[in-house]
Chains A and B, each alone.
Chain A
Amino acid sequence: MHPLGVSGNLATPLGIESLHAHGRAGMSDREAFEREALPHLNSVYRFALSLTGNEAVAEDLTQDTYLNALKAWRQYELGTNCRAWLFTICRNLRSRQAVRDQREEPTDAADLESLASAALHAGLSESSPQRGFLDAPELGDVVRAELQKLPEEYREVIVLSDLEDQSYATIVAILGVPIGTVKSRLFRGRRLLQEALIEYARDAGLVARTGGPR
Chain B
Amino acid sequence: MIDCHGVMKQLWEYLDGELPLAESDQIRDHLAMCARCYPQYRHQLAFLALVSRAAAATAPRREFVRRLEAVLASAKDDPT
Chain A residues at the B interface, C-beta cutoff of 8 Å: 1-4, 6-8, 30, 41-42, 45-46, 49, 55, 58-59, 62-63, 66-67, 70, 110-111, 113-115, 117-118, 121-122, 124-125, 132, 134-135, 139-141, 143-144, 147, 158-159, 161-163, 167-168, 183, 186-187, 190, 193-194, 197
Query: Roughly how many angstroms separate A124 CA and B42 CA in the complex, as a whole number?
Result: 13
Whole-angstrom distance between the Cβ of B72 and the nearest chain A Cβ: 6
Contact of A162 among B39, B55, B59, B79 (CB under 8 A): B55
**Pairwise interchain contact B59-A45, C-beta atoms closer than 8 A:** yes
The 5 closest A-B pairs by CB, nearest first: A8-B77, A143-B54, A140-B54, A45-B60, A163-B55
With a cutoff of 8 Å between Cβ atoms, the chain B residues found around residue A62 in the complex are 60, 64, 68
Report chain B residues within 8 Å CB of A111: 9-10
Q: B34 on the interface (CB 8 Å rule)? A: no
A121-B44 contact given A1-B79, A147-B55, A167-B18, CB 8 Å threshold: yes
CB-based contact A70/B76 at 8 Å: yes
Asked if A42 contacts B43 (CB within 8 A), the reply is no
Determine the chain A residues whose CB is within 8 A of the CB of B54 once the complex forms. Answer: 139-141, 143-144, 147
Report whether over half of chain B's contact residues are helix, strand or loop; otherwise say mixed.
helix
A-B contact count (CB 8 A): 130
**Which residues of chain A have C-beta atoms less than 8 A from B46's C-beta?**
132, 134-135
Do residues B52 and A8 form an inter-chain contact, with CB atoms below 8 A?
no
Task: Provide the residues of chain A in CB contact with B3, threshold 8 Å.
Answer: none
Q: In the complex, which residues of chain B have a beta carbon less than 8 angstroms from the beta carbon of A113?
A: 12
* Complex CA distance for A115 and B54, rounded to whole angstroms: 25
> Can you list 13 pairs linking A and B with CB atoms under 8 Å apart?
A2-B76, A46-B55, A49-B58, A62-B64, A63-B68, A66-B72, A115-B8, A118-B44, A122-B40, A125-B39, A144-B55, A147-B51, A161-B16
**Are the CB atoms of A67 and B8 closer together than 8 Å?**
no
Do B59 and A114 touch across chains, with their CB atoms under 8 A apart? no
* B80 cross-chain contacts in A, Cβ below 8 A: 1-3
Chain B: interface residue total (CB-CB under 8 A): 43
* B interface, CB within 8 angstroms of A: 5, 8-13, 16-18, 39-40, 43-44, 46-61, 64-65, 67-68, 71-73, 75-80
* A45, B16: Cα distance in complex, Å: 23
Contact with B76, one of A8, A144, A190 (Cβ below 8 angstroms): A8
Q: Which residues of A contact B11 (CB under 8 A)?
A: 114, 117-118
Q: CA of A158 to CA of B52 in the docked complex: distance in angstroms?
A: 9
Chain A residues with CB under 8 Å of B49's CB are 134
Q: How far is A117 from B11 in the complex, measured between Cα atoms in Å?
A: 10
A7: chain B residues at CB < 8 Å are 77
Complex CA–CA separation, A159 to B51 (angstroms): 9
Expressed in whole angstroms, the Cα–Cα distance for A168 and B17 within the complex equals 10
